[in-house]
């Protein structure tokens, strides 16, 4: 790019000489303006913004020094060359102060002027080059900085995930990495976040894990809530769970930490509920000082989350909520179960349900946080109730649900409150079914029902059963109807269909084989009875059980 030059001299001859005789082209310059006095000169400088100013010092209106000063102030990068008739030290001193590039003494020699302009041009070029290089460097630096900032969250997540996964680098390396990731902490803790109830629309039917689709949005909400409380959240993902590491930059007391975490959890739960209609629960690990302990913190939170089966009340689980083992734990349980069995026979349904709180509390204490133990004991309570029903009625198939279905229900229970509700409903069913005026089946009916349930696969007839017990068929028939509410044929059908439903779930058995196994020689008859009681044909039942 050509440099622009303005030449100012009050002597037209000198002015013309400079403008016309210097080889501007070879210097890479163009004269963009000239003037014969200082005032006009200043205007031209203002208009043309030259790179180089060549001016006489002594001029009417404004001196060359004034112009040099103006030039330097307005365009600091520019170069001013002064022409003077005197070798005056004072001028020179002032000129240097003003940042003048050089001073030429009259008479002006073209070759010297040309040399000095050449030097000025060279200096202008290198200054400009340096400027543009610096701009490039700055630009590149900014880009790098930005990229680093963008990838920082995922780098932090990755780093924290590794720590939680148990791979801890050496101390030096750790310090280096945390510094480069801008992590500052004095205390740290780990939170595990899960859904409180499965939301079929959002995630897999039975899973309580937070759907990965919500992961990002929820982390943002948590970070927002954390920033207000002066700590940082770094998200991680482990065993399908949303795991949040909390880093507290200040050394807080346990009480302060707890308060911050409590109010944070409260806000976070509320935010998630409002934005996503999702009820979550959070397990909070004990607080540690070292990032190396994040693994341990995660394990603590994870163990705590498992105990949520026993903690049905709050949505936030803190470590101190877990009862220390031994304290409050019980060593015996059989006595409680036995007592419960006796009560089944002796007290009313409502009293039983009142007592349920107690047995649930005992089961909880005995299990000491072991879900399998708790569910095993709950199963025993249900089975006891079912056996009691059988003893009273002789009818194994009297419930709407078979024993395998009951055990599956218990396996799927999500917390102790559900367990308590389930037990209450189950006991109520048993008691209500038996309470038909609080009357147990008479011995004959009990035995007859048992006889039917044991032999339904054979060609069983009312006459045969009556004969077996030494009764007249019509008497037995009346007795059965009076006590069970249904007649002999329906009792047999009920036993057969209940058995058929279990057998139909077996993929090895064909529908007609099942029909024959439960006592229907005629396929069409089996079809009819089954469809009448279940509303769908046995084949459809089989197909559905295959799908589920």
**Footprint of another protein on this chain (CB under 8 A)?**
510-512, 515, 523-524, 527-528, 531-532, 537-540, 542
CB of 531 to another protein, least distance (A): 6
Q: Work out how close the CB of 493 gets to another protein at its nearest, in angstroms, rounded to a whole number.
A: 14
In degrees and rounded to multiples of 5, residue 28 shows phi and psi of 75, 35
- Cα–Cα distance for residue pair 410/352, rounded to 1 Å: 19
Q: What is the DSSP string of 88-105?
A: -HHHHHHHHHTT--EEEE
Distance CA 378, CA 406 (A): 11
| Structural contact between residues 396 and 390, judged by C-beta atoms closer than 8 angstroms | yes
Q: Give the contacts of 11 (CB within 8 A, at least 6 positions apart).
A: 56
Which residue lies nearer to another protein by CB, 261 or 518?
Answer: 518
Whole-number minimum distance, CB 547 to another protein, in Å? 15
Contact 17, 107 (CB under 8 A): no
Q: Which tokens belong to 52?
A: 């180089």
Q: For the CB of residue 482, give the shortest distance to another protein in the complex, in Å.
A: 28
Structure tokens at 125: 């070029």
d(CA 201, CA 261): 30
Q: How far is the CB of 511 from another protein (least distance, A)?
A: 6
- The answer to whether 315 and 281 are in contact (CB under 8 A) is yes
In the complex with another protein, the residue whose CB is nearer, 441 or 541, is: 541
Q: Is the dihedral of CA 200, 204, 210, 211 positive or negative?
A: negative
For the bound state, the minimum distance from the C-beta of residue 510 to another protein, rounded and expressed in Å, comes to: 5
Smaller CB distance to another protein: residue 115 or 531?
531
260 or 542: CB nearest another protein: 542
The two tokens of residue 349 are 């349904």
Q: What angle do CA 518, 522, 525 make, to 5 degrees?
A: 85
| In the complex, least distance from residue 398 CB atom to another protein, rounded to whole angstroms | 25
Tell me whether residue 284 or residue 504 sits nearer to another protein (CB atom): 504
Q: How far apart are CA 224 and CA 154, in angstroms?
A: 17
| Distance of alpha carbon 12 from alpha carbon 216, whole angstroms | 77
Nearer to another protein, 240 or 540 (CB): 540
Nearer to another protein, 1 or 524 (CB): 524
472/528 with CB nearer another protein: 528
Dig out the tokens for 359 from the structure. Answer: 């047995």
Q: Is the Cβ of residue 142 or residue 543 nearer to another protein in the bound state?
A: 543
Q: How many residues does the chain have?
A: 548
Q: Which is nearer to another protein, 502 or 539 (CB)?
A: 539
Q: How many CB atoms lie within 10 A of CB 328?
A: 11
CB of 512 to another protein, least distance (A): 4
State the minimum distance, in angstroms, from the CB of residue 526 to another protein.
9
3-state secondary structure of 317: strand
CA separation for the pair 22, 105 (Å, rounded): 17
Minimum distance of another protein from residue 518's CB (angstroms)? 14
Taking Cα atoms as reference points, which of 163, 165, 279, 266 lies closest to residue 222? Answer: 266
Nearer to another protein, 207 or 533 (CB): 533
By DSSP bridging, strand 52-56 and strand 187-195 are: unpaired
With beta carbons less than 8 A apart as the criterion, state whether 81 and 105 touch.
no
Distance in Å, CB of 307 to another protein, minimum: 47
Residue 119 vs 509, nearer CB to another protein: 509
The separation between CA 488 and the C-alpha centre of its own chain, rounded to angstroms, equals 59
Is the Cβ–Cβ distance between 321 and 287 less than 8 Å? Answer: no
Minimum CB separation from another protein for residue 543, in Å? 8
- For 392-410, the DSSP string reads HH--TT-SSS-HHHHHHHH
Of 534, 495, 526, residue with least CA distance to 510: 526
């Amino acid at each position: 790019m050509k440099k622009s030059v303005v030449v100012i001299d009050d002597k037209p001859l000198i002015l013309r000489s400079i403008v016309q005789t210097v080889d501007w082209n070879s210097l890479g310059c163009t004269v963009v303006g000239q003037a014969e006095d200082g005032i006009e000169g200043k205007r031209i400088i203002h208009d043309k913004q030259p790179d180089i100013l060549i001016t006489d010092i002594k001029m009417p209106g404004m001196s060359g020094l004034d112009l040099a000063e103006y030039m330097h102030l307005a365009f600091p990068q520019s170069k001013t060359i002064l022409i003077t008739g005197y070798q005056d030290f004072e001028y020179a001193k002032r000129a240097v102060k003003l940042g003048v590039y050089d001073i030429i003494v009259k008479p002006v020699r073209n070759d010297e002027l040309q040399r000095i302009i050449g030097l000025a041009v060279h200096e202008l070029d290198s200054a400009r080059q340096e400027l543009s290089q610096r701009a490039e460097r700055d630009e590149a630096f900014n880009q790098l900085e930005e990229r680093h900032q963008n990838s920082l969250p995922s780098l932090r997540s990755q780093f924290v995930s590794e720590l939680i996964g148990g791979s801890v680098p050496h101390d030096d390396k750790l310090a280096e990495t945390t510094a480069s990731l801008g992590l500052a902490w004095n205390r740290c803790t780990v939170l595990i976040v899960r859904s409180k109830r499965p939301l079929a629309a959002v995630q897999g039917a039975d899973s309580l894990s937070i759907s990965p689709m919500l992961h990002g949005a929820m982390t943002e909400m948590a970070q927002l809530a954390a920033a207000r409380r002066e700590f940082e959240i770094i998200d991680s993902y482990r065993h399908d769970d949303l795991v949040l590491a909390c880093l507290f930059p200040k050394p807080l007391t346990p009480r302060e930490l707890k308060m911050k975490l409590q109010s944070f959890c409260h806000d976070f739960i509320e935010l998630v509920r409002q934005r996503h209609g999702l009820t979550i629960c959070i397990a909070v690990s004990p607080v540690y000082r070292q990032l190396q302990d994040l693994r341990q913190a995660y394990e603590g939170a994870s163990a705590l989350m498992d105990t949520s089966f026993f903690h049905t009340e709050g949505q936030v689980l803190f470590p101190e909520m877990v009862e220390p083992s031994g304290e409050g734990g019980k060593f015996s349980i059989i006595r409680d179960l036995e007592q419960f069995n006796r009560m089944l026979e002796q007290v009313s349904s409502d009293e039983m349900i009142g007592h349920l709180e107690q047995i649930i509390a005992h089961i909880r204490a005995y299990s000491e946080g072991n879900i399998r133990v708790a569910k095993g004991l709950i199963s025993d309570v249900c089975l006891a109730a079912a056996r009691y029903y059988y003893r009273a009625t002789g009818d194994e198939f009297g419930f709407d649900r078979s024993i395998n279905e009951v055990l599956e229900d218990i396996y799927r229970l999500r917390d102790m409150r559900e367990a308590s509700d389930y037990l209450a409903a189950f006991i109520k069913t048993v008691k209500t079914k038996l309470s038909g005026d609080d009357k147990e089946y008479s011995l004959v009916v009990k035995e007859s029902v048992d006889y039917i349930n044991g032999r339904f696969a054979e060609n069983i007839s009312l006459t045969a059963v009556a004969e077996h017990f030494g009764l007249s068929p019509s008497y037995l028939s009346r007795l059965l109807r009076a006590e069970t509410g249904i007649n002999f044929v329906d009792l047999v059908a009920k036993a057969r269909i209940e058995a058929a439903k279990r057998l139909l779930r077996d993929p090895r058995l064909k529908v007609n084989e099942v029909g024959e196994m439960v006592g229907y020689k005629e396929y069409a008859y089996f079809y009819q009875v089954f469809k009448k009681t279940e509303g769908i044909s046995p084949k459809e039942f089989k197909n559905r059980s295959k799908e589920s």
